[in-house]
Amino acid sequence: MSVLAKFTEKFNAVNDVYLSLLADIDSSETNLRIALFFIAFNPTFWNIVARLEYKTHFITKIAGSAKRGCYLLAFTIFSLGLVRDFYFHRALDFQPTSTLLDSDAVRAAGIACLATGQVLVVTSMYQLGVTGTYLGDYFGILMDNIVTAFPFNVSANPMYQGSTLSFLGTSLLYGKAAGLFATVMVNLMYTLALKFEEPFTAAIYAKRDAEKAKKSS
């Protein structure tokens, strides 16, 4: 068999799997649509609101202090996450189970992904605290040093990567192709969010360091 023929065979096999999984998604189901909405809305919301806070301090003014303002935003983001997760799990209940994903091996992989994801999320929150996790730097609440302890020594963005793994693990555990599609959306939105967050956060700390250097000179 020629190289081209082998490539075509493998491509067709992958394409068959893709089409089979796609056929197992009920795209008209309301809970799935709501879950996908919040998957896209949540990171968009917190990036816009955090930028506005940095420029206008409107949440700080409403709450009375930067710390209370950050806690208010943290509560809002956490609540939106609960709503997203509620509709995601509810969507999985109404979605058909894919025959390709209905196996003990897939479920075991799902448990492993889910456990790893939860460890990354919980330990990153422990290391950063509430203000470090929920955009405290936009409120002027900056950390003294870069966190390098676990999980940051194994993952550049453990919160986002852990959340993505949790979505993936849950989808595999329940054998839902719709969950895999939602996981792709989660990863896409987090990737886009990081493109806005990372350079902006770096600029905030660079400004802080420049001001410190100016004062010490």
Q: List pLDDT tens digits, range 47-70.
A: 999 999 999 999 999 999 999 999
Higher-pLDDT residue of 148 and 37 is 37
**Phi, psi torsion values for 140, nearest 5 degrees:** 85, 10
Residue 116 marked as a ligand binder: yes
Residue 169 marked as a ligand binder: no
How many of the other CB atoms lie within 10 Å of CB of 8?
A: 12
Residue 112 marked as a ligand binder: no
Query: Would you place residue 2 in the very low, low, confident or very high pLDDT band (cuts 50, 70, 90)?
Result: low
Q: What is the pTM of this model?
A: 0.91
CB 135 within 8 A of CB 71: no
Residue 198 marked as a ligand binder: yes
**R_g over Cα of the chain:** 21
Cβ partners under 8 Å of residue 114, min gap 6: 165, 166, 169, 170, 173
Residue 91 marked as a ligand binder: no
